Copies of this chain bind each other. A is one copy, B any other.
């Protein structure tokens, strides 16, 4: 009863922030993202009578191997809970050993939890032979979401994906376009990797204290007020479904439209965070420095935009042909510790061969 899965991290264009139902991990709105081919977690799960307790080990290039404890954080606690829940469904009564190997830094703001949770869920379902939950991608995405993360669920399908929220309060992931459709690149400018003082899970609760959360939900699906300065008439707002508009921009490969929508959405989410009680300040001084530079570079003609997840690192999205130019520009920026560049990748995959060497961690 052993299986291995690989899953990518992803970067959201329309962010997931705030939940409609905390227990079901239902988001307030549809969100979307692209998978990061270069940032993956490979997770092996084995259930065996040899094990006396569940054990979860994480390996990553930026740290010593870590054995996770349920009290390490909300997300970690959810992994242990998920093992219990899925074992009950499978009628299995064996403890598990989980080994998760990241090929990119852990807890550095590059969605290691998304990659890790997606790979963990798929490997656990395969090891428990819960094929009904595993083989249908929509159902797999629900399972990943229930482990505690809509962000991780977006890593299930290939390429560009969306976590759809239906009128019936179902939330599952489907593909917008395959990875080969459009050669976007995410250049992550890592500016800091401090432990967050407010975890993402706490942040999702605090979102409800922001006076702007309701307005964010309306904004994502309702009116867009044109700028007076740009000659628009504010009495004549347009109706725009922003997740749909992002989807269309991806399908039409319209970089500028995607750039405007994604940047606005990142700022919108961070404005909600900033106005929570207490204020959730994930952006740092260096985040703002990079953001201003990216705006300048784009004004100078380089197709690039910037987005931030729940952390200070800047995700610079460009077309693959400009990746070299962008990396060159970033080399001169002293606030950037290092960069990780990634094209668009596949979603979660079960790895058929079992590497015995991983058995004992």
Contacts and interface: CB of A to CB of B under 8 A. Distances in A.
Interface string A290-301: 011000000000
A219 B277 CA distance: 13
A73 interface: no
A274 interface: yes
B285 A275 contact: no
B218 A211 contact: yes
Contacts of A212: 211-212, 215-216, 219, 271
A205 B229 contact: yes
B228 A268 contact: no
Interface string A241-281: 00000000000000000000001100110111011111101
Nearest to A223: B211
Nearest to A22: B228
8 contacts: A206-B228, A208-B234, A209-B228, A211-B218, A225-B277, A226-B277, A227-B277, A230-B277
A311 B227 CA distance: 21
Where chain A touches its partner, the secondary structure class is helix
B211 A227 contact: no
A262 to B, nearest CB: 13
Number of copies of this kind of chain in the complex: 2
A288 interface: yes
A302 to B, nearest CB: 18
A218 B211 CA distance: 8
A228 B291 CA distance: 32
Interface string A105-122: 000000000000000000
A263 B274 CA distance: 11
Nearest to A205: B228
A289 interface: yes
Q: Which of A278, A283, A289 has the most CB of B within 10 A?
A: A278
A288 B281 contact: yes
Interface string A182-210: 00000000000000000000100110111
Nearest to A267: B274
